[in-house]
Amino acid sequence: MSRTRVGKTRVMTLGLALLVTLVFNCGIVHGKTWIVGDKGGWDLNEDMEKWPQGKYFKAGDVLVFNSKEAYHVLVVNESDYINCNFFGKAKIYKSGHDRIRLVKGGNYFISDGPEWCGYGMRIAVNAE
Ligand SMILES: *[C@@H]1O[C@H](CO)[C@@H](O)[C@H](O)[C@H]1NC(C)=O
pLDDT band at 30 (very low <50, low <70, confident <90, very high): confident
Question: Topology of domain 31-127, per CATH?
Answer: Immunoglobulin-like (2.60.40)
Using the mean position of ligand 1's atoms as its centre, give its distance from the Cα of residue 83 in Å.
11
Pocket of ligand 1 (CB under 6 A): 77, 79-80, 88-89
Report the distance separating Cα 103 and Cα 124, nearest Å.
12
The CA distance from 63 to 38, in Å, is 11
- The answer on pLDDT for 25 being more than 80 is no
pLDDT at 9 over 90: no
- Span 83-127, pLDDT tens digits: 999 888 889 999 999 999 999 999 999 998 778 888 899 999 999
Per-domain residue ranges of the chain: 1-30, 31-127
- Tell me what pLDDT residue 29 has: 60
pLDDT reading at 27 higher than 90: no
Which range, of 43-47, 53-57, 73-77, 80-84, averages the lowest pLDDT? Answer: 43-47
Which residue's CA is minimally distant from atom 3 of ligand 1? 88
pTM of the complete model beyond 0.85 = no
Question: Three-state SS for 36?
Answer: coil
Mean of pLDDT over the chain: 86
Q: Is 22 exposed, middle or buried (0-12, 13-18, 19+ CB in 10 A)?
A: exposed
Q: What is the mean pLDDT of residues 51-59?
A: 97
- pLDDT of 75 over the 60 cut: yes
Protein residue whose Cα sits closest to atom 7 of ligand 1: 88
* Atom from ligand 1 closest to the CA of residue 85: 5
Residue 80's Cβ-count burial label (10 Å; 0-12, 13-18, 19+) is: buried
Between the CA of 79 and the centroid of ligand 1 the distance, in Å, is: 7
